[in-house]
């Protein structure tokens, strides 16, 4: 099992395994066929308020990660996170995001949690 994070705009690769879009909105300018997304659990994304707070530069990435982890404890998000854990237990999973800096995004937080 491996969990990796990639930009959704990058071409799919053979080793991607299950491709999971972890953004709430569909990426701009990307056709669904080109993205090759297998799953899209929208309820796993940060709240709109948390996203706005982080993108406004009001806090550090570490604080964002802590707040996002707290949101993931809510029943719907926790259930979806468990589902992605099950997928990862069965094989490779690639978390896809439109973020320009995926290593400092919510997708990186998810990947860390999934890797345990």
Q: Write down the pLDDT at residue 34.
A: 86
Average pLDDT over residues 80-88: 96
Q: Write down the pLDDT at residue 33.
A: 86
Rounded to whole angstroms, how far apart are CA atoms 94 and 107?
10
Residue 48 domain-assigned (yes or no): yes
Q: Supply the range of the domain harboring residue 86.
A: 3-100
Rounded to whole angstroms, how far apart are CA atoms 64 and 82?
21
**Structural domains in the chain (count):** 1
Query: Position of tokens 């994070």?
Result: 5
Residue 112 domain-assigned (yes or no): no
Query: Contact, 2 vs 111, CB < 8 A?
Result: no
User: Is the pLDDT score of 58 beyond 90?
Assistant: no
């Amino acid at each position: 099992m491996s969990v990796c994070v990639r930009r959704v705009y990058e071409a799919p690769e053979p080793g991607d395994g299950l491709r999971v879009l972890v953004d709430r909105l569909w990426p701009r300018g990307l056709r669904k066929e080109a993205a090759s997304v297998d799953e899209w659990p929208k309820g796993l994304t940060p709240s709109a308020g948390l996203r706005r707070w982080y993108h406004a530069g009001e806090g550090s990435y570490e604080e964002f990660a802590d707040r996002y982890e707290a949101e993931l404890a809510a029943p719907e998000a926790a259930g979806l996170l468990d589902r992605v854990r099950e997928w990862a237990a069965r094989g490779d999973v690639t978390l896809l995001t439109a973020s320009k800096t995926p290593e400092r995004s919510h997708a990186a937080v998810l990947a860390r949690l999934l890797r345990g």
